[in-house]
Amino acid sequence: MKMTGVILIMSLTGALNIDLKSLNITKNFDDSRMELEAINSRIEQLYLTEDVDALTNLYASQFTFFPEYKPAIFEIKALNKFFKDWFTAGDVKIYKKKISVVETYSNHLLELGAFSFHYSSIKNPQGEYKGNYMVLWKKDNDGKLSIISETFGADTYIEPDVVPYADVQVEETNFTAINNMDKKLIAEVKEFDAVVLKAVANSDGKARADGFTEDAILLSNFDSIRVGMENIRPKMLKTYTPNMSYIVKHYYNRIYDLGDYVFVVGQYKGGWGDSTKGGKFEGNMSNLLKRTKNGKLLMHRQAGNRDRKLVLFNN
């Protein structure tokens, strides 16, 4: 009887510990979300007041900024110029961000959500620009958060002149910071990428879908946020069909090892068909890859946008 009592107490204690751990995890997520919501409220105001210095101070010294329909930005000086030129050419009337997901990876926070701008510019006196975004934040030893990656794009098709910074000129650079990285990590990413590019070249929608985790989240060009395989697989099957042939190359800017995950930012360049009937496209990609139990990498979170207009061949 005494032994039974001991077992019961141990069982209850174990259950209590599990519940407390669950509560702590939930509390941490809630705290992180509240922290980001507070930061976003400040960011919304900084756009309205056109406080360029305060905006750029939110970014880490090494970061990646992917504005839709513009080349990528990797340096604070270039980002500072981008914001100054934007605010000189027009005004942000309303800017809102709504968080959908906040996740913790190592000492990083991944934020996904929706945004909307109401603005005025030379080309659009009463413009509106809305879509989805993905931001990766890094927390330093003092708990301060800094942006190391930001990607955003419209959730329906738009022309380049619809973005509120359409009149801003951004210099294109061939930037990469992976040359001194762990060769094994780079090999891991390239091995995953080779499978993706093979599926794309073969226009194999099933293979493309199989490259995602079951609970993946996809923020692709001109589309709503797709959550889970049940929503991602139909898009892959519709995009990659036997009668469509693609050729695509990927280029890496930065790679971050986050333990069981790998975060990759880079560009894609590709096309389909030929010079008489086809086209070409270029853009940016932010990929969070997950290491499975067998060591295989799968796409877990992905956001992308176009950095220039689609080129069509109709000769």
Exposed, middle or buried, 296 (CB in 10 Å: 0-12/13-18/19+)? middle
Cβ neighbors of 18 (< 8 A, separation 6 or more) are: none
Cα dihedral value 237, 294, 138, 208, nearest 10: -10
Instruction: Report whether 221 contacts 307 (CB < 8 A).
Output: no
294-305: pLDDT as tens digits: 889 999 999 999
160, 312 contact by CB (below 8 A)? no
- pLDDT of residue 3 exceeding 60: no
Considering the domain delimited by 21-162, tell me its CATH architecture: Roll (3.10)
By residue count, the chain amounts to: 315
What does the pLDDT read at residue 313? Answer: 86
Cβ neighbours of 116 (radius 10 Å): 14
What is the per-residue pLDDT across 70-105, written as a single tens digit (0 to 9) for each? 999 999 999 999 999 999 999 999 999 999 999 999
Average pLDDT over residues 16-43: 70
Q: What percent of the chain has pLDDT over 70?
A: 90
pLDDT for position 11 = 41
CATH 3.10.450.50 corresponds to the domain 183-313: yes
Listed in sequence order, the DSSP H helices in the chain are: 2-49, 52-56, 76-89, 183-201, 205-210, 229-239
Contact between 99 and 183 (Cβ < 8 Å):
no
For the segment 17-33, the average pLDDT, to the nearest whole number, is: 56
Same fold, 21-162 and 183-313: yes
Residues 6 or more apart whose CB falls under 8 angstroms from that of 279 comprise 271, 272, 273, 310, 311, 312, 313
Per-residue pLDDT, averaged over 227-256, amounts to 93
pLDDT-derived band at 29 (thresholds 50, 70, 90) equals low
| H or E segment to which residue 299 belongs | strand 297-306
Give mean pLDDT, residues 190-203: 95
Q: In angstroms, rounded to a whole number, what is the distance separating the alpha carbons of residues 140 and 124?
A: 40
Domain spans of the chain, in order of start: 21-162, 183-313
Over the range 31-63, which residues count as b (16 or more CB within 10 Å of their CB) and which as e? ebeebbeebbeebbebbeeebbeebbebbbeeb
Model-level pTM? 0.89
Tell me the mean pLDDT in the region 42-67: 98
Residue 135 has pLDDT above 80, yes or no: yes
- Give pLDDT, residue 28: 60
- Whether the per-residue pLDDT at 26 is higher than 80: the answer is no
pLDDT higher than threshold 50 for residue 8:
no
Whether the per-residue pLDDT at 141 is higher than 70: the answer is: yes
Q: 70 is written with which tokens?
A: 């513009």
The angle at the Cα of 310, spanning 305 to 206, to the nearest 5 degrees, equals 65
Please report, as a single letter, which amino acid is at residue 185. L
Quick: pLDDT tens for 151-181: 999 999 999 999 999 999 999 998 888 877 8
User: With contact defined as beta carbons under 8 Å apart, do 232 and 212 qualify?
Assistant: yes
Which among 72, 126, 129, 65 has a CA at the least distance from the CA of 97? 129
Q: Pull the structure tokens for residue 50.
A: 């056109």
